[in-house]
Amino acid sequence: MAENEFKVYPYRFVVLGVFMVINAVVQTLWITFAPITGHAAEFYKVTDLEIGMLSMIWMIVYLVVSIPASWIIDTYGSRVGISIGAIFTAVFGLLRGYFGADYNLVFLATIGIAVGQPFIMNATTTVAAKWFKITQRATAAGLAVLATFIGIIIGMAVTPALTLGMGIEAMLVVYGWAAVVCAVIYIVFAREAPPTPPCPAGQEERALVLDGFKGVWKNKQFMLVMLVMFIGFGMFNGITTWIEPIIRGRGFDMTQAGTLGAVILFAGIFGAIIWPALSDKFRIRGRILMWAILLGIPGLIGLIYATSFELLLLSGVVLGFFSMSVGPIVYQFGAEVTHPIPEGTSNGLLNMAGQLSGIIFIFGMDMFKDAKTGSMTTILLVLLALKVCNVFFSNKLVDSDLIKEDVGGPLNQKGAASVPN
């Protein structure tokens, strides 16, 4: 392919930006009830677990919808797939707001929002691959995951304030209209692909979707990174879902729970910028992933034992920066070691592993909490042991030749000023 037949376009940042917008609002809708678990349980006259189900149902729905969503993304394109997810998010987000007084109707509307999530989550590496050269893709995926953190931060920090100021029903209406606005922004400004690809043909070749599903199960490195994802994402979902009950027994209130959750995610934002950028710069995936997981261990220990709010926040910073921010590297590693399988396929399967573990971890953390005090110390120690295991597993990851070679060379450094139609 001639030098002028592939280039990167400035409009790629617009496409990435509007993808980040819709991704963020989905995460806000997912985490809405986590920082107000006790208050919401009293409002709806249900148990903590039933409020937890408003988060957990997303994971159950994901397992059902993920493969069809990946097929649509890989077959019809990321713009079509993400637009489907955006429409589900907007319609059912708004319905959840206007039916916010009834738990059962809120639950049904939440299922509708959750149907849209896989169409957005599974497109992360596809968007990066279509618009960015290979040595920028982990960074691009990191920015997409940064939006995930921003959305969760909004849910963690803003939800308690909105709830105290206007009540649960009005808070859900506000989030519903926010979903509508974000969906419109994505549909208007998103594009499928640039006029010319961002890299040589060798980095864009793709297997058939069904062949891709067959191929991943024979790939030992992909199975290993899926195990890393299973543990890491399960811990993330479990901790964020039960953030308020985790610290409630030590005398902290829902506002402090929301602040802690926001701090963890703010630190995760910086990590999601720094770790993928380092991974791209040095063309290393597995070893950077291992070090990040290892250095996050003190943060989890602090989350378990800290009795002062200052120490709790410091622990949240460490946990967020080192452990909650490496998802982009996991996604990009999976896409590279399974090449030429479509990114939507590898991305979707990794997310399925994470969502399945989320169900298990959320149920397990509730099941094994102290029956009298509600303390989750014992089960959090189990998570600590699993985190240590994840250090070992990630140390076994071997990077793909695709990132080592950077076969795009200097040709991929070219830019273009035009905006694709």
The whole-angstrom separation of Cα 347 and Cα 351 is 6
Long-range residue pairs from 45-51, CB within 8 A, at least 24 positions apart, any chain: 45/103, 46/103, 48/245, 48/366, 49/366, 50/103
pLDDT (0 to 100) of residue 315: 95
The whole-angstrom separation of Cα 214 and Cα 341 is 10
The reported pTM is 0.71
Q: Is the dihedral of CA 315, 318, 320, 326 positive or negative?
A: negative
pLDDT in tens, 107-165: 999 999 999 999 998 888 788 888 888 777 777 877 887 788 789 888 888 998 999 99
pLDDT (0 to 100) of residue 74: 81
pLDDT (0 to 100) of residue 420: 33
pLDDT in tens, 214-256: 667 778 898 999 999 999 988 988 898 788 888 888 888 878 8
Contact (Cβ atoms closer than 8 angstroms) between residue 128 and residue 140: yes
Tokens representing 309? 């709010």
Contact (Cβ atoms closer than 8 angstroms) between residue 301 and residue 351: no
The residue among 69, 93, 9, 157 whose CA lies nearest residue 342 is: 69
Assess whether pLDDT exceeds 50 at residue 414: no
- The band of 410, judged by pLDDT with boundaries at 50, 70 and 90, is very low
Q: Which domains are delineated in the chain? A: 10-403 (1.20.1250.20)
Tokens representing 363? 């149920």
Q: What is the mean pLDDT of residues 174-201?
A: 88
CA 356 to chain centre: 14
Least confident of 1-5, 194-198, 387-391, 417-421: 417-421
Query: 145 versus 379: which is more confidently predicted?
Result: 379
The residue among 324, 101, 100, 341 whose CA lies nearest residue 216 is: 341
The whole-angstrom separation of Cα 324 and Cα 239 is 11
pLDDT (0 to 100) of residue 93: 96
Q: Is 218 helix (H, G, I), strand (E, B) or coil?
A: coil
The whole-angstrom separation of Cα 16 and Cα 367 is 40
Mean residue pLDDT of the chain comes to 84
For the chain, the distance separating the N- and C-terminal CA atoms, rounded to the nearest angstrom, is 23
pLDDT in tens, 272-317: 888 888 888 888 888 999 999 999 999 999 999 998 999 999 999 9
- Structure-token match 């797939």, residue found: 81
Assess whether pLDDT exceeds 60 at residue 3: no
Tokens representing 213? 């599903």
The whole-angstrom separation of Cα 48 and Cα 231 is 24
Assess whether pLDDT exceeds 60 at residue 404: yes
> For the residues of 372-387, what is the DSSP string, one character each?
TT---HHHHHHHHHHH
Beta bridge partners of 8: 415
Contact (Cβ atoms closer than 8 angstroms) between residue 172 and residue 32: yes
Give the CA-trace dihedral at 403, 405, 408, 413, to 10 degrees: 80
